[in-house]
Structure 1
């Protein structure tokens, strides 16, 4: 009888330990969104999307800088997420030490690994497709590794304007879901 009770206790203990090992730890983060692929503007719809507006307001209120705008008029033959209401320009100056620190703080926070071990968690939750700042592009499809950036409108950095080099603003382009505020970061924000 004692043997049977000990065997039952051992089975129960094994079940409890296995269930505990498989369960998510208390306070575990929600699953993180996938990396956004490149989703170019397909039609002219420059009205600011709700997710883009919410992210722009968040960046300015959380980090500083100025709200540089979202929408641009549509130009036939050109592609820009601004023309789709999914790109935000955040006014910071790469020549300013304070503004460089501000941009660096945002990039560090957006590209950090969360407690659950998800790399670039906040950027993925925000639906960020890519960021351009100070001659660098950080794209989701490249896991946000910095790469040299030169606007197609420039022959060389030396002959390129501060604006086209993204040295007077941080450009943030969102996926379609991010622009609509349909990624996990926007839950409860819109």
Structure 2
């Protein structure tokens, strides 16, 4: 073989090798790519959307903070959690005990879902991302964030980041300092082992169009009173935005007990509850601070209410909180 022929042969072999390598790479991409696209062959599942949805759609939810200690599971919250579980087979958590808290949360009034996916598991991470993509996708009618709007999603926390319907121009933004705490010790705090979804009141109550087939108006929920830090629980839809008040703080020179009381002021405590807030109540009314709201506490609270010219309900409604605060040196 002469020099020219040999050069042509080598060139042909090189081109053939490059072509085969390119085909192999394309084959790998073809095999892997569909898993990133919900609805494709081999794609991760997404929840089933209902039929018969109206042409109209809810607007993006405004921010309606949690302000009550009212640990009831809400219809829409439960249905969303079960929809996700049906799709992915994972577990979830809903309402949490609030009596140890000093700041409200949507978990404390039944408006939050923690659905468990672990970002460190490739399959779970893929499913979590598919769920979020489904929530925030534009529908066939051109409505952005369509499923999130029809479900009343207010914000999502996942894998160090936060998406909120009321700060939509920011997209996904860093959550707290999670980018600087990559160890497993911070996986729960930084939502790397679960997705947190907080709902509007209309979403939590199951009144949004995803469930009802009717577009729901904004429900602003119960409003906090200016002199107490917690509100009573939800009782009826509220079409009016609640006033915003500064956090109530204990005055200078307050007793240790008053300092305990003020952050929990307004929290509706009733028989059957337990935790630090119940201990605080027991100290105020003069019974053993066991932390359990049982018959002795109920009887003593009713007697305390009667002595202070209040209805003997055995429940710490706002009037009872005001009287307890005043009795311990709080001035309005």
Common topology (TM > 0.5): yes
Kindly tell me the number of residue pairs found equivalent between the two proteins: 159
Q: Do the aligned partners of residues 81 and 51 (structure 1) sit closer, same or farther apart at CA in structure 2, a change above 3 Å counting?
A: same
Q: Is the 8 A contact 2:54 2:209 kept in 1?
A: no
User: Given the alignment, which residue of 149, 165, 173 partners 2:175?
Assistant: 149
Who is 2:155 aligned against? 130
Aligned equivalent of 1:178, options 187, 190, 203: 203
**What SS class does the counterpart of residue 80 from structure 2 fall into?**
helix
Whether the 8 Å contact between 1:48 and 1:85 is mirrored in structure 2 is yes
Unaligned runs of 5+ in 2: 1-51, 214-332
Shift of 1:79: 1.9
Higher strand proportion: 1
1:125 to 1:156, Cα distance in 2 relative to 1, 3 A: same
Partner of 2:87: 62
The whole-number CA distance in structure 2 between the counterparts of 1:187 and 1:89 is 23
1:73-93 deviations in whole A, cap 9, x for unaligned?
A: 113421211001010110110
The separation in 2 between residues aligned to 1:187 and 1:124, in whole angstroms, is 13
Match of 2:320 in 1: none
CA distance in 1, matches of 2:179, 2:131: 29
Q: Which runs of 5+ in 1 are unaligned?
A: 1-26
| TM-score (norm. length: structure 2) | 0.45
> Residue 167 of structure 1: which of 192, 198, 216 is its match?
192
Report which of the two structures shows the higher radius of gyration computed on alpha carbons: 2
In 1, the alpha carbon distance for the partners of 2:117 and 2:60 equals 26
Instruction: Name the SS of the counterpart of 1:171 in structure 2.
Output: strand
- Residue-by-residue CA offset, 1:136-186 (whole Å, 9 max, x unaligned): 1111112282111127xx895257621001011110100011000111111
Deviation sequence 1:82-118 (CA, Å, 0-9, x none)? 0010101101101010011001111111111111111
- Tell me how far apart the structure 1 counterparts of residues 212 and 88 of structure 2 sit (CA, whole Å): 21
Do the aligned partners of residues 178 and 28 (structure 1) sit closer, same or farther apart at CA in structure 2, a change above 3 Å counting? closer
Where has structure 1 moved over 4 Å in runs of 4 or more? none
- Aligned with 1:71 (options 80, 90, 95): 95
Q: 1:81 aligns with which of 106, 115, 127?
A: 106
**How far apart, in 2, do the equivalents of 1:37 and 1:63 lie?**
29
- Give the distance between the partners of 1:52 and 1:148, measured in 2 at CA: 25
Residue pairs, 1:5-44, within 5 angstroms: 30-44=55-69
Q: 2:144 aligned to 119, 125, 129, which one?
A: 119
Question: Which one is further off, 125-134 or 55-64?
Answer: 55-64
Using CA pairs under 8 Å that are at least 6 residues apart, name the structure with larger relative contact order, 1 or 2: 1
